[in-house]
Structure 1
Amino acid sequence: MTVWLLAALVAILAGVVATLLTPRFAGPTVEAGPHLRAYRHVPIAVLGGMGATHAAASWAETAAFAVLAVSAAFLVVIDLAEYRLPDAIVVPTYPLFFGALTLAAALENDWSRLGRAAAAGGVLLVSYFLLAWINPTGLGLGDVKLAGLLGGFLGWFGWPQVLMGTLAAFALVAAVSLILLALRRVGRKSEIPFGPWMIAGAAVGAAWQPLVLG
């Protein structure tokens, strides 16, 4: 099976799972409900599933990254609509994601990568918690919890990816904020959801770090 065929299959599966999970998170009291019922998260899940295949070296890694991609798709749409990252999505993703990484480490007999992923997740979790404590209007606890997942993802690849992905997130949200200010779509004190840019930054860190840093 070629890489592109496998990527297409994983992408389709990610899209199907995202579609099937939609009723669970698109209730009538959910502000992002109309966006989810329009399945705007599904194309994001499909792209994430395709990216997961290209980033992974084994089926267990593919599963871990695909799980994160499906969760991220929901989180992007919900955070843009509601300025929150629900525990109902973030928390269950932890055991699924790190469980799949543990299986990948066992299959590859490379426990150092799992240790680094756990350490990176812990470092970002604590770092974001301190930032949220210092400036609670800038970051929420949802961002803090998401940071642990994204830190684990980036840490699986290496510490340079952790640095690149983290810096990319802040650079992206700064650029978007400046553009929205210039277009007068937001004011200086307007709230900008950070979750989508954390996710985008993690994707940039994983994809481009080798080209940028070495």
Structure 2
Amino acid sequence: MEAFLITAAIVWGCATGVLIPRVAYRLSVPAGESWRSVCPVGHRLVGIGGGWLGPARCSAGDRFGPKSLSVFFVTAGVCALLAATSGARPELVVWLLLSPVCVLLAVVDASVHRLPDVLTLPLTAGTCVLLGGASLFQGAGGSWTSALLGLLVLGGCFFVLFLFSRGLGFGDVKLALVLGAVLGWYGWPVVLVGVFAGFLFGALWGVGLLFAGRAGRRSRMAFGPFLLAGALAGVLLGSSLP
């Protein structure tokens, strides 16, 4: 059963990972600009769903967007890890549905330091609904009430940080709502571990850039990918607990 779940998760990760680069390219624009509709050399993007779905190639065959293989393997790897630790628990379906969107958010934020509302707001609502559904099934490994409390508390804490910190964007606050629900599903210790891991990953990366001379003390960096990585660490920990 475990081997089947991991295989199915990998297949899901591969299938969705192929689609992420095109969407990430279209969404990777500064705030206030329209989503991209042409490739870097000016060819119009056509395909399924108004040109949103498909490989990262334009009508002339030119590649664009983030490195497809990297996104492909990251998405498949994340899904495999979640399946290996969660097992046949109901919330595994939720984690697998959320994973491609979270990878997409990380890619966009790394590209343009932006977490678009078109992703974060539906993701927040969808997470609450999906976890509520998972809590109805026998064998669920967490609590929907705890998830909602995690959403409110972590979102509130990040909002306070946003008011007093220059390094935190409002997009990070909205992302914290999702992460609070996901981590809160497994309880407060997992929330603390996931948030601490996110800040630790971000700090280590920032220090590494400073020592490499690729950033200064006032340089800004995308924080979303590190928050998401920390949340993944927290979920892996929470799902591995009996």
Q: Normalising by the residue count of structure 2, what TM-score does the alignment of the two structures yield?
A: 0.76
Corresponding residue to 1:113 among 137, 143, 146 = 143
In 2, the alpha carbon distance for the partners of 1:151 and 1:206 equals 11
Matched positions, count = 210
The code of the aligned residue for 1:76 comes to A
Identify the residue that residue 133 of structure 1 maps to in structure 2.
Answer: 163
Check conservation: 1:42, 1:73, Cα contact below 8 A: no
Corresponding residue to 1:92 among 92, 105, 122 = 122
In 1, the alpha carbon distance for the partners of 2:27 and 2:126 equals 27
The code of the aligned residue for 2:102 comes to A
How far did residue 62 of structure 1 move? Answer: 1.4
The percentage of counterpart residues that share the same residue type is 27
Q: 198-207 or 11-20: which moved more? A: 11-20
In 1, the alpha carbon distance for the partners of 2:96 and 2:142 equals 22
Q: Normalising by the residue count of structure 1, what TM-score does the alignment of the two structures yield?
A: 0.86
2:219 alignment partner, SS class? coil
* 2:106 counterpart of 1:76: yes
* 2:194 counterpart of 1:165: yes
Identify the residue that residue 190 of structure 1 maps to in structure 2.
Answer: 219
Check conservation: 2:91, 2:131, Cα contact below 8 A: yes
Identify the residue that residue 12 of structure 2 maps to in structure 1.
Answer: 13
Structure 1 residues without counterparts, runs of 5 or longer: none
Q: Residues 48-63 of structure 1: matches in 2 within 5 Å? A: 48-58=78-88, 60-63=90-93
How far did residue 154 of structure 1 move? Answer: 1.0
Give per-residue Cα distances to partners, 1:12-34, cap 9 Å, x unaligned. 21331243455444329747984
In 2, the alpha carbon distance for the partners of 1:87 and 1:145 equals 8
Check conservation: 1:165, 1:205, Cα contact below 8 A: yes
In 2, the alpha carbon distance for the partners of 1:122 and 1:182 equals 37
The code of the aligned residue for 2:192 comes to L
Q: Which has the higher helix share?
A: 1
The structure with the largest alpha-carbon Rg is: 2
In 2, the alpha carbon distance for the partners of 1:6 and 1:112 equals 20
In 2, the alpha carbon distance for the partners of 1:24 and 1:89 equals 11
Check conservation: 2:186, 2:238, Cα contact below 8 A: no
How far did residue 64 of structure 1 move? Answer: 0.8
In 2, the alpha carbon distance for the partners of 1:174 and 1:29 equals 24
Give per-residue Cα distances to partners, 1:141-177, cap 9 Å, x unaligned. 1111111111111111111010011111111111111
Structure 2 residues without counterparts, runs of 5 or longer: 31-35, 40-63
In 2, the alpha carbon distance for the partners of 1:3 and 1:109 equals 16
